[in-house]
């Protein structure tokens, strides 16, 4: 007779048939989704808006700030004429020009908010970057000379004072158009070509400006000055994008514009010293023309 053995305890499970304990999948998935959502919201809050009402409100706000900041710099010629003919008659043109040139240069210095590295001198080991920054320094030695002296030179030549002060308003109005057109051309074509063309046009009008002896000629010269300076401003930034990593564009621009302040600081005072020594704005025009042609040669 066969005996059956009774084994006490829990039943034995076959090898390989154990089922793992269910993982807390639903709750884990929910936690992960919530974490991703929070990260996306935080990232969206930190990102610069790209399109839509908020983005254009940013553009509008920055435009108002830039108008209050850049306006006095572009209108420095008014103050130059007023100081030279009234408040500071005992000081030379060169001395007075230092006020505006230092103010303009200070506006190009780096900001105080820490948004990344400020310097990487290895960028200047690239010949393209070094030559381009050097050309911009020379450019700014001559670029703003007409802005600084066109009003006072017109008054000295016997033009009506009200008309002479209006010349800067014409320059700034046309400069806006020059920046818009220059920006569109730089986007469609090579920005360096736009920069070279604008610089050479500025050289021609700087040469011709002191020779304008009637209202019509002076207005035409003033319009061309605004177009040329606007074209330079619209196209001088883009080449920095092509000189290395896209992530370092801001740093390259910051270093470049910091060095450009050397040309901004010295440009108008040098022109003032030339006028003080020679008594003629024609020599100022020759100096500006020579500087702009040198820039064109360096860039090409």
Q: For 16-61, what is each residue's pLDDT tens digit?
A: 455 555 554 445 555 555 555 555 555 555 566 567 788 888 888 8
Ordered by where they begin, the domains of the chain are: 74-108+120-299 (1.20.1250.20)
d(CA 272, CA 96): 8
pLDDT in tens, 243-296: 877 777 778 888 888 888 888 888 888 888 988 888 888 888 888 877 766 666
Task: List, in sequence order, every beta strand (DSSP E) within the chain.
Answer: none
Q: What distance lies between CA 128 and its chain's CA centroid?
A: 19
Structure tokens at 229: 């300076």
DSSP, collapsed to helix, strand or coil, labels residue 251 as helix
d(CA 165, CA 151): 6
Average pLDDT, the chain: 78
Structure tokens at 37: 């959502």
């Amino acid at each position: 007779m066969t005996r059956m053995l009774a084994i006490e305890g829990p039943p034995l499970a076959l090898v390989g048939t154990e089922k793992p304990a269910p993982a807390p999948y639903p709750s884990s998935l929910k936690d992960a989704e919530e974490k991703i959502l929070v990260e996306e919201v935080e990232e969206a809050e930190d990102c610069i808006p790209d399109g839509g009402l908020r983005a254009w409100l940013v553009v509008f706000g920055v435009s108002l700030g830039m108008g209050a900041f850049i306006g006095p710099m572009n209108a420095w010629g008014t103050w130059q004429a007023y100081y030279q003919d009234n408040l500071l008659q005992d000081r030379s043109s060169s001395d007075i020009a230092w006020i505006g040139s230092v103010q303009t240069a200070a506006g190009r210095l780096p900001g105080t908010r820490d948004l990344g590295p400020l310097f990487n001198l290895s960028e200047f080991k690239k010949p393209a970057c070094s030559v381009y920054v050097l050309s911009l320094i020379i450019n700014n030695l001559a670029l703003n000379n007409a802005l600084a002296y066109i009003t006072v030179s017109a008054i000295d030549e016997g033009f009506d004072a009200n008309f002479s002060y209006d010349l800067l308003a014409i320059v700034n109005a046309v400069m806006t158009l020059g920046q818009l057109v220059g920006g569109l051309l730089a986007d469609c074509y090579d920005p360096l070509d736009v920069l070279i063309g604008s610089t050479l046009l500025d050289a021609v009008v700087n040469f011709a400006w002191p020779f304008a002896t009637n209202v019509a000629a002076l207005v035409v010269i003033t319009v061309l000055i605004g177009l040329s300076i606007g074209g330079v401003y619209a196209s001088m930034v883009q080449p920095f994008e092509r000189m290395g990593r896209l992530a370092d564009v801001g740093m390259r621009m910051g270093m470049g514009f910091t060095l450009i302040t050397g040309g901004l600081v010295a440009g108008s005072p040098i022109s003032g010293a030339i006028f003080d020594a020679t008594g003629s704005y024609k020599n100022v025009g020759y100096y500006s023309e020579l500087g702009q042609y040198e820039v064109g040669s360096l860039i090409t």
